[in-house]
Amino acid sequence: MDAFAFIIHPLDPKTDVARKYPTLARILPVSLIHFLSLYWPPLVLSHARGIRSPATGREVEGWLLACPLTARRMVTVSPRVAYRKIIQTGRLAERLGARILGLGAYTSVVGDGGLTVARALQIPVTTGDSYTAALSAHTLLEAAAQVGIAPEQATVTVVGATGAIGGACAQLLAPHAGRLVLVGRRMEALTRVKSRLSDIARGPVEIATDIAAIRSADLVLTTTSAGRPIIFPEHLKSGAVVCDIARPRDVSIRVHREREDVLVVDGGLAEMPGGVGLGFDYGLPPGLTFGCMAETITLALEGRFEDYTVGKELDVARVQEIARLAARHGFRPAPLHSLDRPLPPERIEAVRQKRFPK
Ligand SMILES: NC(=O)c1ccc[n+]([C@@H]2O[C@H](COP(=O)([O-])OP(=O)(O)OC[C@H]3O[C@@H](n4cnc5c(N)ncnc54)[C@H](OP(=O)(O)O)[C@@H]3O)[C@@H](O)[C@H]2O)c1
């Protein structure tokens, strides 16, 4: 049977390590978890069977693997050290018989976004960023529709627009946005992203390096690899809708607690075909998965064993193709969630009323 493997790693050292080693996570201090993570070997977290395409009836199996480097370690060690650990985990996938490898969370963020890892392995690799981008743009527009915001009359901002997912989302949102503001850290990189939008943008496109630029936004899509919150209550206007793709999240928990007039939804979530699970609790409600995992499984179900999404510049034609393939094999954009929980209709109504008082 065709098989995939997908690599995850601890983002929050205590919570995520506890999913596999509850006792160790309880007794070890966080600093020691960060330190030890570099020396821990890759491991198999689960073996999932019976993932079936409703369109073709084809079934695949797959392994969830842990690359035991915490997110903080992943970005503080040199890319060479991080690559070595990811490649070691990829070799485990090869020995298990996987025919394609997905790179989760920071294993796709680090360095060149999977290019070096793909060159070192015998099996093809995908970051899963294409489907994540498609799902996230969809989620932002869906949340906007539910609140009653028309994107063509709105200011839309993309934070992290110079990144792989951010750049693709800018291209997906440009044809819809009344005004588009791209936020990043480097002016010249933002100028390059903006130049790709000239033929497709519906309205004016502006660039900014100060996060304060999101204060005028009705709709915000945020997708940085800052690894810590960068969006705080004072940055958002009343009635704004924010789609947070980043893991760890970009939006501070204070926004959720203090801004009842703002809607924050999770990006990059999909429903699994038939609601099947992967046999390991990685923190999402049952039946849901991350876009990057869904892309990997879709490629296995489709029999597309190739380096599908690698590098930091995504091809929008591929983003659109993988969304079609995922839908064909039974994946669906997840209903709106916030902090990994279904969004109650009252929350949407509360923001709608703040925005359009009667
Ligand atoms: N939900 C899902 O299924 C899913 C799937 C994949 C990835 N993700 C998450 O999506 C996020 C982006 O992934 P990616 O692959 O697009 O990463 P990427 O290509 O490395 O892009 C990261 C972006 O973040 C910016 N950035 C980095 N540090 C920052 C800081 N301190 N302040 C402000 N901006 C900062 C970068 O700016 P520069 O260009 O200036 O460096 C870049 O624009 C990550 O958090 C990742 O974990 C989620």
As a whole number of angstroms, the distance between CA 143 and CA 161 comes to 20
Percent residues over pLDDT 90 in the chain: 83
Gap from CA of 160 to ligand 1 centroid (Å) = 6
Which CATH fold would you assign to the domain 133-268+335-355? Answer: Rossmann fold (3.40.50)
284-301: average pLDDT? 96
Using pLDDT thresholds of 50, 70 and 90, give the confidence band for residue 26: confident
Q: pLDDT band at residue 107, thresholds of 50, 70 and 90?
A: very high
Question: Model confidence at 20, in pLDDT bands (50, 70, 90)?
Answer: confident
| CB 242 within 8 Å of CB 262 | yes
Assess whether pLDDT exceeds 80 at residue 33.
no
pLDDT for position 60 = 96
Instruction: Work out the pLDDT band at 177, boundaries 50, 70, 90.
Output: very high
Instruction: Calculate mean pLDDT across residues 192-214.
Output: 97
Q: Whose CA is nearest to atom 45 of ligand 1?
A: 246
Could you tell me the pLDDT band of residue 80, with boundaries at 50, 70 and 90? very high
Residue 66 token pair: 């842990």
Structure tokens of 59?
A: 């079934």
Tell me the pLDDT band of 68, cut-offs 50, 70 and 90.
Answer: confident
* Lowest-confidence segment of 10-14, 161-165, 195-199, 253-257 by average pLDDT: 10-14
Domain-wise residue ranges, the chain: 3-130+269-333, 133-268+335-355
Does residue 126 carry a pLDDT above 90?
yes
Instruction: For residue 109, report the distance from its CA to the centre of ligand 1, in Å.
Output: 7
Model pLDDT, residue 285: 93
Is the bond preceding residue 248 a cis peptide, omega within 30 degrees? yes
Residue nearest to atom 7 of ligand 1 (CA): 105
Q: Which atom of ligand 1 is nearest to the CA of 161?
A: 43
CA of 270 to the centre of ligand 1 (A): 19
Cα angle value 105/32/10 (rounded, 5°) = 15
Q: What is the pTM of this model?
A: 0.95
- Dist. CA 236 → ligand 1 center (Å): 20
Give, in degrees to the nearest 5, the angle at Cα 348 between 342 and 353: 165
What residues are in contact with ligand 1 under a 6 Å CB criterion?
105-106, 108-109, 113, 128-129, 132, 160, 162-166, 184-186, 189, 223-226, 230, 245-247, 267-268, 290-292, 312
CA-proximal residue: ligand 1, atom 18 (nearest): 163
Is the predicted pLDDT of residue 312 greater than 80, yes or no? Answer: yes
pLDDT tens digits, 136-155 = 999 999 999 999 999 999 99
Query: How far apart (Å, rounded) are the C-alpha atoms in residues 145 and 9?
Result: 34
What's the mean per-residue pLDDT of the chain? Answer: 95
Predicted confidence at residue 132, as pLDDT, reads 98
> Residue written as tokens 């925005």?
355
**Spatial CB neighbours of 69, under 8 Å, sequence gap ≥ 6:** 9, 10, 37, 38, 77, 82, 85, 106
